[in-house]
């Protein structure tokens, strides 16, 4: 393994609206940042523009780590490569039928477009039973005929997905050989290759997503690599995966489905990293943007990972991904008074266009952002700089008309009501995410990021009983930072599904050992120096007769039976407060993550030390009236980049910075640390 220490490394994340970049010189600790509009057609242009804005000379860079929404967008918009399916006779519609669901509990409307069109789904005679015994031998001629037909129809990728291939992949392997002889490229995905677990719909969709984004991702990465090398770059390009780890750009397309949802994952990784450096291992991440809010849980500095994520209705991608849940409201969520005379915030959003009224792009509906502005939480002087031009009075008038009049309040009180409702709903949603993962929010610290997160975090924390809020130094570029700090990571799962009492523990130990061997071999293949290799092991268990499993972390790859039973019962009791010693336990899955930990990165340069002032007074840029729950307070406004390295301030206070506004409420106490974080200790309810 080469041990070249890069001097400049770049993390660059392409999001839906902006492409964010962080460049760090690991020798000097100097940081440069850039934020440019994303270029949707070819994200590479946005990446290059960000590099240029940050003034990064590519010859000086040794490593670029990249998060991309190429695959996510392709799936959500169904702008996919033409993909064919070869599957077991009688089962071509599995991808379209799903699991007999509907998009919402109430309302009998719904639509679903499968990843692969019906006329491109071919059936061939073959069949395994659930034990992996051959029931019908594979008709090899039929495979060849199907492959040719798909080529004739212009398919670029193909999925080979047979029933029970997780139990015996022979037919899939053989069919893949046959197809490979005639298929013009390598875009052949076997159903069992990404996910070797039963459930034909979920496994099939995962494979179909992989195949249908593979060519797109490969082309995109190739373009980017070409552009970068034209610019003089000769280092390695790594790409973020949805599990919060990264892989070499040379390998990434092979399992392209794993890059779906990588953006939210990198934000969570940055949170975990920042928290660890600040000595806080348990965090709830709270990323509030313009249209939505994402929440994830970090325990013992490890983000919760799930292999059962559905990225939209009936679109499960069952590979390990950081478990980021979208809980609704964003700054653009619209407030209205319903016919019952009750205030509602969301679910409708003004989105980016027209956006909130205060964007000046023609928005006419009151939103959360507008309410923040009316209350003085957002800087009202910024209104002058918006393109369309909109005045405070216009916003006030709309609030009066749409909300104040029907509620019998003035416009400012109506705005305060909007914030209170929004916070109540968001706190409820965060609480549901947290308890569904078996965690009591009071044991966590809230990590606030995204453009609007730090504005609401303190109020949410108070509502949730969360004692502290951590606001990182650059909340608006957290995803790019996540790229910078991410580790190399490979996840493995084997299904055992046997009663704990009868499982052969030697087999269990052998499976864990094989994960380690395979994971370390994959790490060695990548041209990146790692500081140490970490192993994380866990088992999924359940009581016999149950369908839910819970994940139980284990210390060693050689657990004994009794320990597993004890750990499982403890975990179960902690989660559900139910003790079930009378029932037998099943061992379902064995999971390992093999992680190549990269060198520590110094975050202190994220806020330029030379810009910091000696005292809080010198960092103050304004004072204005800001409305909190108990009324208006004269509130000092500070500029984040000017704050001294260490400080303590009492709320109410506002800290503004380029990409966000931090609200410190009356009763709160905020402190700065060496890495530029603000730690808010939440005061008692007013």
Q: Three-state SS for 22?
A: strand
Q: DSSP secondary-structure letter at 485?
A: H
Segment interacting with other proteins, rule: CB under 8 A, options 22-30, 159-167, 366-374, 595-603: 159-167
Q: Which is nearer to other proteins, 532 or 576 (CB)?
A: 576
Give the CA distances from residue 519 to residues 128, 189, 396, 493, 583, in Å, rounded to whole numbers and listed in that order.
30, 21, 59, 12, 35
> Which of 59, 76, 137, 435 touches other proteins (CB under 8 A)?
435
Q: Shortest approach of other proteins to residue 406 CB, angstroms?
A: 9
Task: Kindly state whether residue 154 participates in binding other proteins, applying the rule CB under 8 A.
Answer: no
Stretches 17-25, 84-92, 248-256, 387-395: which one binds other proteins (CB under 8 A)? 84-92
Q: Which residues pair with 12 in a beta bridge?
A: 21, 66
**What number of other Cβ atoms are within 10 A of residue 57's Cβ?**
12
CB 209 within 8 A of CB 95: no
Closest separation in Å from C-beta 420 to other proteins:
6
164 binds other proteins (CB under 8 A): yes
Q: Which of 59, 432, 597, 614 binds other proteins (CB under 8 A)?
A: 432
In angstroms, what is the minimal distance from the CB of 289 to other proteins?
22
CB 573 within 8 A of CB 580: no
The two tokens of residue 335 are 């407030």
Give the residue, chosen from 55, 578, 610, 684, that forms a contact with other proteins under the rule CB under 8 A.
578
Q: Which alpha helices (H) appear in 477-551, and where do they start and end?
A: 478-485, 505-525
Both tokens assigned to 491 = 């996840």
Contact between 483 and 67 (Cβ < 8 Å): yes
Site for other proteins in 344-383 (CB under 8 A): 344
Q: How far apart are CA 82 and CA 157, in angstroms?
A: 7
527 to 556, contacts with other proteins by CB under 8 A? 543-548
- Which one of the spans 36-44, 89-97, 207-215, 276-284 is the region binding other proteins (CB under 8 A)? 89-97
Cα angle: 608, vertex 611, 614; to 5 degrees: 120
Please give the Cα distance from 138 to 24 (Å, whole number).
55
Among 66, 299, 425, 640, binds other proteins (CB under 8 A): 425
User: Which of 9, 422 has the CB closer to other proteins?
Assistant: 422
Q: Closest distance between other proteins and the C-beta of residue 315, in Å? A: 14
Single out the residue of 196, 424, 494, 589 in contact with other proteins (rule: CB under 8 A).
Answer: 424
Query: Is-contact 82 154, C-beta < 8 A?
Result: yes
Q: Which of 580, 614, 658, 686 binds other proteins (CB under 8 A)?
A: 580
Tokens 């009983």, located at residue: 465
Tell whether the torsion through CA atoms of 94, 99, 105 and 108 is positive or negative: positive
- Outline where DSSP puts E strands in 276-408: 283-288, 293-299, 302-303, 305-306, 309-310, 316-317, 321-322, 325-326, 333-337, 343-349
For other proteins, the closer CB: 575 or 613: 575
CB closer to other proteins out of 336 and 669: 336
Per the omega criterion (within 30 degrees of 0), is the bond before 194 cis?
no
Which of 280, 132, 261, 116 is closest to 201 using CA atoms? 116
Q: Shortest gap between Cβ of 495 and other proteins (angstroms)?
A: 11
CB of 662 to other proteins, least distance (A): 25
Contact 124, 160 (CB under 8 A): no
Please select the residue that binds other proteins; options are 510, 524, 583, 686, rule is CB under 8 A: 583
**Maximum Cα interatomic distance, the chain, rounded to a whole number of Å:** 80
Q: How far is the CB of 580 from other proteins (least distance, A)?
A: 6
Residue 584 Cβ vs other proteins, minimum distance, rounded to whole Å: 10
Q: Please, what is the minimum distance in Å from the beta carbon of residue 423 to other proteins?
A: 9
Nearer to other proteins, 548 or 646 (CB): 548
Nearer to other proteins, 102 or 561 (CB): 102
Q: What is the DSSP string of 602-617?
A: --GGGS-GGG--SSHH
Taking the least distance from each CB to other proteins, the nearer of 574 and 615 is: 574
Q: Cis omega (within 30 of 0) on the bond before 284? A: no
Of 445-484, binders to other proteins (CB under 8 A) are none
Nearest Cα residue to 473 out of 448, 456, 444: 448
Kindly tell me which of 24 and 345 has the beta carbon lying closer to other proteins.
345
Distance, CA of 571 to CA of 112 (rounded, Å) = 38
Closer residue to other proteins in complex, CB, 39/546: 546
Among 174, 199, 361, 535, binds other proteins (CB under 8 A): 199
Q: Please tell me the total number of residues recorded for the chain in this structure.
A: 686
Residue 464, CB half-sphere, CA atoms under 13 Å: how many?
32
DSSP codes joined into one string, 660-673: EEEEE-TT-EEEE-
Least distance in Å: CB of 545 to other proteins?
4
User: Which residue in the set 156, 200, 370, 402 belongs to the binding site for other proteins (CB under 8 A)?
Assistant: 200
> In the window 321-350, what residues touch other proteins (CB under 8 A)?
338-344
Q: Is 38 helix (H, G, I), strand (E, B) or coil?
A: coil
Residue 299 beta carbon to other proteins: minimum distance, rounded to whole angstroms: 17
Q: Which two tokens stand for residue 323?
A: 């478990």
Residue 91 in the binding site for other proteins (CB under 8 A): yes
- Is residue 561 helix, strand or coil? helix
H/E stretch holding 436? helix 411-436
Q: Which of 9, 56, 115, 163 binds other proteins (CB under 8 A)?
A: 163
Q: How far is the CB of 407 from other proteins (least distance, A)?
A: 5
Question: If you search the block for the tokens 């959360």, which residue do you land on?
Answer: 368
DSSP state of 598: P
Task: Considering the complex, state which of residue 279 and residue 545 has its C-beta at the smaller distance from other proteins.
Answer: 545
- Find the binding residues for other proteins in span 478-507 (CB under 8 A): none
Site string for other proteins, 394-423 (x = CB under 8 A): -------------xx--------x--xx--
Per the structure block, which two tokens stand in for 483? 């790229």
Could you tell me the smallest distance in angstroms from the CB atom of residue 205 to other proteins? 12
Number of residues in contact with other proteins, rule: CB under 8 A?
A: 68
Q: Select the span of 169-177, 183-191, 391-399, 571-579 touching other proteins (CB under 8 A).
A: 571-579
**Residues in contact with other proteins, shown as a per-residue x/- string from 94 to 133 under the rule CB under 8 A:** x-xxxxxxx-xxxxxxxxx----xxx-------x-xx---
- The two beta strands, 283-288 and 445-449, are parallel
**Stretch touching other proteins by CB under 8 A, among 198-206, 213-221, 451-459, 586-594:** 198-206
Stretch that binds other proteins, among 43-51, 226-234, 429-437, 607-615 (CB under 8 A): 429-437
Positive or negative, the Cα torsion across 271, 272, 278, 283?
positive
Contact residues for other proteins (CB under 8 A)? 90-94, 96-102, 104-112, 117-119, 127, 129-130, 135, 163-164, 166, 198-202, 338-344, 407-408, 417, 420-421, 424-425, 428, 431-432, 435-436, 543-548, 575-578, 580, 582-583
């Amino acid at each position: 393994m080469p041990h070249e220490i890069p001097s400049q490394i770049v993390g660059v994340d392409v999001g839906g609206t902006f492409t964010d970049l962080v460049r760090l010189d690991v020798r000097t600790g100097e940081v440069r940042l850039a934020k440019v509009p994303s270029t949707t057609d070819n994200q590479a242009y946005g990446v290059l523009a960000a590099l240029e804005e940050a003034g990064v000379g590519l010859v000086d860079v040794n490593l670029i780590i990249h998060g991309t929404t190429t695959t996510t967008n392709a799936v959500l918009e169904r702008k996919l490569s033409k993909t064919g399916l070869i599957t077991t006779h009688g089962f071509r519609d599995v991808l379209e039928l799903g699991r007999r669901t509907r998009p919402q509990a109430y309302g009998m409307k719904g639509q679903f477009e499968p990843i692969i069109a019906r006329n491109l789904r071919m059936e061939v005679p073959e069949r395994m039973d659930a034990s992996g015994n051959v029931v019908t031998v594979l008709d090899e001629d039929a495979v060849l005929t199907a492959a040719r037909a798909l080529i004739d129809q212009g398919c670029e990728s193909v999925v080979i997905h047979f029933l029970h291939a997780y139990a015996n992949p022979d037919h899939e392997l053989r069919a893949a050989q046959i197809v490979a002889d005639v298929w013009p490229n390598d875009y052949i995905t076997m159903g069992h290759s990404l996910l070797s677990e039963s459930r034909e719909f979920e496994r099939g969709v995962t494979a179909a997503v992989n195949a249908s984004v593979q060519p797109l991702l490969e082309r995109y990465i190739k373009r980017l690599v070409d552009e970068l090398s034209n610019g003089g770059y000769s280092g390695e390009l790594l790409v973020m995966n949805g599990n919060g780890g990264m892989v070499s750009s040379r390998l990434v397309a092979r399992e392209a489905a794993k890059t779906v949802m990588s953006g939210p994952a990198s934000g969570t990784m940055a949170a975990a990293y920042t928290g660890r450096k600040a000595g806080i291992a348990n965090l709830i991440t709270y990323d509030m943007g313009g249209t939505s809010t994402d929440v994830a849980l970090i325990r013992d500095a490890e983000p919760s990972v799930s292999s059962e994520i559905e990225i939209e209705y009936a679109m499960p991608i069952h590979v390990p991904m950081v478990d980021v849940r979208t809980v609704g409201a964003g700054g653009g969520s619209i407030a209205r008074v319903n016919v019952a005379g009750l205030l509602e915030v969301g679910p409708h959003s003004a989105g980016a266009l027209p956006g909130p009224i205060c964007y000046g792009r023609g928005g006419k509906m009151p939103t959360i952002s507008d309410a923040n502005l009316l209350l003085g939480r957002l800087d009202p002087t910024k209104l002058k700089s918006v393109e369309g031009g909109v005045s405070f009075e216009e916003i006030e008038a709309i609030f009066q008309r749409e909300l104040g009049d029907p509620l019998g309040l003035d416009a400012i009180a109506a705005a305060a009501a909007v914030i209170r409702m929004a916070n109540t709903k968001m706190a409820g949603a965060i609480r549901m995410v947290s308890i569904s993962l078996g965690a009591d929010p009071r044991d966590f610290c809230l990590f606030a990021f995204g453009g609007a997160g730090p504005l609401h975090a303190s109020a949410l924390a108070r509502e949730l009983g969360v004692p502290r809020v951590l606001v990182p130094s650059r909340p608006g570029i957290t995803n790019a930072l996540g790229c910078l700090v991410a580790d190399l990571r490979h996840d493995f799962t084997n299904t055992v599904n046997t009663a704990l009492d009868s499982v052969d523990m030697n087999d269990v130990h052998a499976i864990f050992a094989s994960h380690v061997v395979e994971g370390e071999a994959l790490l060695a293949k990548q041209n990146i120096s790692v500081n140490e290799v970490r192993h994380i092991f866990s088992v999924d268990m359940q009581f016999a007769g149950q369908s839910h499993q819970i994940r139980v972390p284990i210390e060693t790859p050689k657990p004994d039976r009794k320990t597993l039973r004890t750990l499982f019962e403890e975990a179960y009791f902690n989660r559900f407060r139910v003790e079930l010693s009378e029932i037998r336990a099943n061992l379902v899955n064995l999971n390992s993550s093999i992680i190549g930990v990269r060198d520590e990165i110094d975050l202190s340069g994220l806020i330029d030390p030379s810009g910091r002032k000696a005292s809080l007074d010198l960092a103050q840029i304004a004072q204005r009236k800001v409305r909190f729950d108990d009324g208006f307070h004269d509130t000092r406004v500070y500029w984040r980049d000017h704050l001294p390295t260490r400080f303590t301030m009492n709320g109410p206070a506002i800290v503004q910075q380029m990409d966000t506004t931090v609200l410190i409420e009356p009763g709160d106490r905020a402190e700065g640390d060496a890495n530029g974080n603000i730690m808010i200790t939440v005061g008692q309810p007013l």
